Structure 1
Amino acid sequence: MDFINRESTSFVVVDVQERLMGAMPEDIAETNLKNMKILLEAAKILGIPVTVTEQYPKGLGPTIEEIKESVGEGFSPVEKIVFSCARSPEFESAINKID
């Protein structure tokens, strides 16, 4: 039994941006970042595509550097202005383009 099917799976990193991370208590932000980096490495190893979103980057800043570096080549965040990814046409379009 397959638990993860690469053809129908995407790892989504939602709004890990400078101002949002800066609003978290430092220990929580560090733990979250550590865990996200582990999951991004697992996605690479398993060949799972990664989609990154940014909520209104003009106001909240870009995705933090550590996540950009972990995603690596091909980093291209999906910008959105609605808080929910599920209500973002840009996010829906990006997810539907994944092979």
Structure 2
Amino acid sequence: MEPGLSAYDGVSELFSALANPVRAAVVHRLSERPRTVTELTEELGVSQPLMSQHLRVLRTAHVVTPTRTGRTTTYALSDDHVAHVFLDAFTHTKEHEDPDE
């Protein structure tokens, strides 16, 4: 028996969470190593409130996990599957880019 459409809700939520350049860049950075909110804002050149909004979307989609130490919050990818999905998609898009653009 084939799964119903509701079986795809989770994967749709994951791709929806990644469907923003800032959030995609966050996932890419976190695939290298965990980072603090301050590191992410500085590396990506976005404000702290905007970064917090993007991280909230990624947390809701179970893409990232926060760890709080005192006043510092460090984010990491929830699991290795997220990195693989993202990096495969990133590599795929780079293979199909027009070099003349």
TM-score bucket of the superposed structures, by smaller chain: 0.3 to 0.5
Q: With structure 2 as the length reference, what TM-score do the two structures score?
A: 0.37
Larger Rg: 2
Q: Using CA pairs under 8 Å that are at least 6 residues apart, name the structure with larger relative contact order, 1 or 2.
A: 1
When you count helix as a share of all residues, which structure comes out higher? 2
Q: With structure 1 as the length reference, what TM-score do the two structures score?
A: 0.38
